[in-house]
Amino acid sequence: MSKQIRVLEPASVWNHFADLNAVPRPSKKEERVIQFMVDFGNSLGLPTEVDHIGNVFIRKEATAGMGERTPIVLQAHLDMVHQKNNDTDFNFDTQGIDMYVDGDWVKARGTTLGADNGMGVAYIMALLSSKDIPHPAIDALFTIDEETGMTGALELKGGMLHGKILLNIDTEDDDELTIGCAGGIDINATREVAMEVAPADYTGFKIILRGLSGGHSGMDIHKGLGNANKLMNRILDRVGHDVRLAHLDGGGLRNAIPRESMAIVAVPNVLVADFKQTLSIIHDELASEYGTTDPNIELVCNPVQEPLRVVQNELKESLITAIYANPNGIYRMSPDIEGLVQTSNNTARVLLEDGQLTVLCLTRSSVESEKMDLARAIARNFESIGCSVECTGNYPGWTPNPKSAILTTMSGLYRDLYKEEPRVNACHAGLECGILGTNYPEMELISFGPNIRGAHSPDEKCQISSVQKSWEFFLATLENIPNVV
């Protein structure tokens, strides 16, 4: 862990972030970070507990003179997206994140940084450990598994939280106040695939598509970034019917736009030259089309020697057709909120391995009926090629309340501090506020945070000056919490 991080200001925030990033904390494997947070709360002598699912609660009384203020909930999630570049040697299960300072940014070497949502956790830890920051009574809530299912928020029981205002520190632009978000649902399509030995007069090749920018499948979906699964499908279609498919492995996590895909194919020996020429043409096309959004896109092809088992061409063609037909990216813009993506889909994972086909998607929308309609359309598409389809992880969106007292207060503070208007908006990402609000319908909710770029990709970075700014804004908010009946 770089010592550069620990000397940054505000020191308490960055030191807690460094401590947190030393703990492996992938979604679904949060046991170590849960214990880390329990030990942290106990070390401060604060009431600390863990609920049945693994959410951690740490409570702190109001400071002197703040006892009459409305009690609040501070919330962030403990898990992080684990993504790395293919050429990065790193074990997320055993290693802490290797961070460094690059100008005004903190980055990680070849992996995600974990600022999403480690910065929010660090802000709350810094407040809980402080002795001189004025604040009302606090329920600190650290949820689990936000990135792959919102499990912690979905399993949260009523009666656990006593605050009437919830500050979620999970927004990635320091001039934004988020008051609404999209809901989401996972679509899982699977089927068994009959394999056969490739003909003897065929040669095997591994096609690798890499170097795409990737990004957050909600917050970055409007940027027109290349999706490696869709682009690899385009490649497989273009190389022709006679090329047989043996293996396909693209994308990873549902909430990350796929950056890389790999296919193994068998090519008739008499068509190898045509095959290579077609790949060269496609590479030039992709480099031209995605030169702005994905400037490092790369298409590589190498021979493979081992005997190949391939799928029947009829199924290969059906699979290509289904992925071509699968919606990807923006499906509909909001007619009510300018610039807001209303509904989208991310074709997140395509895997053909050992006779099993798996396609995973994440559909998002701020309109529940439209979300479910798009999910049904995707399901029908893959059912048409014999897949079994299951929809899981359904979570609601968060309806904006532009008249809340906390929004009025924080907007006024932002204007006073920075002499400009904050951007009040709803986002296309899945925040936990919509779920948390179902058990606490009278609670006012708002989300904010420092500038984070490239979340869910190895390009993730957090701006140092923005942390200083948003920490100042956070402290001002704590001191001016409005009274909510």
Q: Is 79 an active-site residue? A: yes
For tokens 């699964």, the residue is 229
Q: 78: how many CB neighbours lie within 10 A of its CB?
A: 27
**HEC string for the chain:** CCHHHHCCCCHHHHHHHHHHHCCCCECCCCHHHHHHHHHHHHHCCCCEEECCCCCEEEEECCCCCCCCCCCEEEEEECCECCCECCCCCCCCCCCCCCEEEECCEEEECCECCCHHHHHHHHHHHHHHHCCCCCCCCEEEEEECCCCCCCHHHHHCCCCCCCCCEEEECCCCCCCEEEEEECEEEEEEEEEECCEEECCCCEEEEEEEEECCCCEECCCCHHHCCCCHHHHHHHHHHHCCCCCEEEEEEEECCCCEECCCEEEEEEEEHHHHHHHHHHHHHHHHHHHHHCCCCCCCCEEEEEEECCCCEEECHHHHHHHHHHHHHCCCEEEEECCCCCCCEEEEEEEEEEEEECCEEEEEEEEEECCHHHHHHHHHHHHHHHHCCCCEEEEEEEECCECCCCCCHHHHHHHHHHHHHHCCCCEEEEECCCCCHHHHHHHCCCCEEEECCCCEECCCCCCCEEEHHHHHHHHHHHHHHHHCCCCCC
Instruction: Please answer whether residues 389 and 382 qualify as being in contact, where contact means their C-beta atoms are separated by less than 8 angstroms.
Output: yes
Clarify whether 146 is annotated catalytic.
Answer: yes
Angle between helices 272-289 and 228-238 (to 10 degrees): 140
Of 30, 116, 145, 146, which residue is the catalytic one? 146
* Spatial distance between the Cα atoms of 93 and 114, rounded to a whole number of angstroms: 14
Of these residues, 30, 79, 170, 444, which one is catalytic?
79
Q: Distance (Å, rounded) from C-alpha 362 to C-alpha 343?
A: 11
What lies within 8 Å, CB to CB, of 484 at 6+ separation is 70, 164, 165, 405, 406, 444
117/426 Cα distance (integer angstroms): 18
Give dist(CA 187, CA 184) in Å, integer: 10
Would the CA dihedral through 120, 122, 125, 127 be positive or negative? negative
Residues classed as catalytic: 79, 146
